[in-house]
Amino acid sequence: MNTIIYIIGTCHGNTTGFKVDDLYKQLLEIKPDVILDESPIDNKWPMMDWLKGCADYSKKRGGGEAAAVLRYLEDHQAVEVLPYDIKGRNDYFIKMKLSEKEQAFNEACKSYFKQQTAHPTATYLYKLIENMGRKFGFHETRDKRTIFEINSPHCDVQVETYISLIRQVNKALFNLVPEFSQYERDFWKILNFHARRDKAMITNILNYTQQYKGKTLVVLCGYFHRYAIIKGLRESLKNSDSRLIIDLSSSIMKQKS
């Protein structure tokens, strides 16, 4: 019997287009044996407590994927919910103050590029990234894309292109704007940490596919991780009997190999 792996990207809560209720409906359709949650593999909290805490934290946005999972578990108690994110993720975020450092750099950019004396090439590149984000719809709450649109090869290409350009543009900004040099080290730490997360996620998912052979697994992830996870799994599973299902439509799940 084949192991079936669904990769479902989320916005971690309701947006204009993405609704937690739609994720719940997908779980009802798929009927997974195992749900992999984007929580650290060494999570010290019992999974049910963790999910309840996440749902409460995100209650203003419908409770996030945790709410969809908890709702699904009410009538499907035999389903296992397991963590798969990088070991030590939460402690690392707190210790390194990644969110605060990212916010500080963003504020510095906004302030600098309001100045008429801002470097013209740097200004062009910064606006390029900003405009791309608006064009693709990347926004925490105002993203208009539905669950079906963010779980598509088209969106995966957008995200991969956007992240690649962020690396290249910020490399240029650090070279062109001396004022940004104080943020450079932390910027690369943040991006490299997320790249390590992707690799760890892939490894942990693969371990679960070995542990749960012949089962149906659903991997829930922030959709910015989706393309990297799919790429890593596709390469590792190409000679296996596992099936990777990545493309959602409004009526059926389309299978991709």
Please check the confidence at residue 155 and state whether its pLDDT lies above 70: yes
pLDDT for residue 66: 97
Give the pLDDT band (50/70/90) at residue 250: very low
- Range 207-218 average pLDDT: 96
Average pLDDT, the chain: 92
Give me the mean pLDDT over the 86-94 stretch: 90
Our count of domains for the chain comes to 1
For the segment 54-79, the average pLDDT, to the nearest whole number, is 96
Residue 216 has pLDDT above 60, yes or no: yes
Check residue 144 and give its pLDDT.
86
Could you tell me the pTM of the whole model?
0.91
Residue 10, pLDDT above cutoff 60: yes
pLDDT of residue 249: 66
What residues have CB less than 8 Å from 12, skipping those under 6 apart? Answer: 58, 61, 64, 65, 222
| pLDDT the model gives residue 133 | 84
182-185: long-range contacts, CB 8 A cutoff, minimum separation 24:
183/101, 183/104, 183/105, 183/108
Question: Residue 222 forms beta bridges with which residues?
Answer: 10
Q: Using one digit for the tens of pLDDT, what is the confidence trace for 220-230?
A: 999 999 999 99
Determine which of 20-24, 83-87, 97-101, 102-106 has the lowest per-residue pLDDT on average.
97-101
Q: Which residue segment(s) compose the domain that 210 sits in?
A: 1-257
pLDDT in tens, 11-43: 999 999 999 999 999 999 999 999 999 999 999
Pairing type for strands 80-85 and 253-256 reads unpaired
Residue 99: band (very low, low, confident or very high) from pLDDT cuts 50, 70, 90? confident
Q: Are strands 34-40 and 243-248 parallel, antiparallel or unpaired?
A: unpaired
Tell me what the mean pLDDT of segment 67-81 comes to. Answer: 97
For residue 197, the one-letter residue type is R
Of 54, 14, 9, the C-alpha closest to 148 is 9
The b-or-e profile of 200-209 (16+ CB within 10 A means b, else e) is bbbebbbebb
- Report in angstroms the alpha-carbon separations of 118 from 46, 132, 173, 201: 50, 20, 11, 40
